[in-house]
Amino acid sequence: MGSGRNLDSILRIPVLIQVVLGSATMPVANLMKLGRGAIVPLDHRVGEPVDVVVNGRVIARGEVVVVEDDNSRFGVSLTEIVGPPNSEFNS
């Protein structure tokens, strides 16, 4: 009986979900020169899957989509679930 309550408590813990479109590396000097309208090229290309990160760990990959109910917002359609290394999810 008590384990059900514990599980319910765990399932209500908030987690931070981030969608990573890509990353870039540059010297601080170049970073300091960035201004409004500057473009920073990322390591991902258009059409490549984006990483879905929960609390710092990649858990899935997906495609960026426009949310059907509100064309001014983006969402992610999951295309791959990433499991821990050497797990059945990675087979």
Q: Between the CA of residue 10 and those of 5, 6, 7, 83, what are the distances in Å?
A: 9, 6, 5, 20
* Per-residue pLDDT, 6: 82
Instruction: Tell me the backbone φ, ψ of residue 18, rounded to 5 degrees.
Output: -125, 145
Q: Would 2 be classed as within a structural domain? A: no
Q: What letter does residue 44 receive in the DSSP assignment?
A: S
**CATH value at residue 34:** 2.30.330.10
Half-sphere exposure of 87 (CA within 13 A, CB side): 7
* Per-residue pLDDT, 2: 56
Of 73, 24, 80, the C-alpha closest to 52 is 80
Q: Would 1 be classed as within a structural domain? A: no
* Per-residue pLDDT, 3: 66
In terms of residue numbers, what domain contains 52? 12-90
Distance CA 20, CA 67 (A): 18
Domain total for the chain? 1
* Per-residue pLDDT, 79: 95
Q: Would 6 be classed as within a structural domain? A: no
pLDDT by 10s per residue, the chain, length 91: 456 678 888 999 999 999 999 999 999 999 999 999 999 999 988 889 999 999 889 999 999 998 888 788 989 999 999 977 665 554 4
The distance of Cα 90 from the centroid of its chain, to the nearest Å, equals: 18
Q: Would 3 be classed as within a structural domain? A: no
Strand, helix or coil at 48?
coil
* Per-residue pLDDT, 91: 45
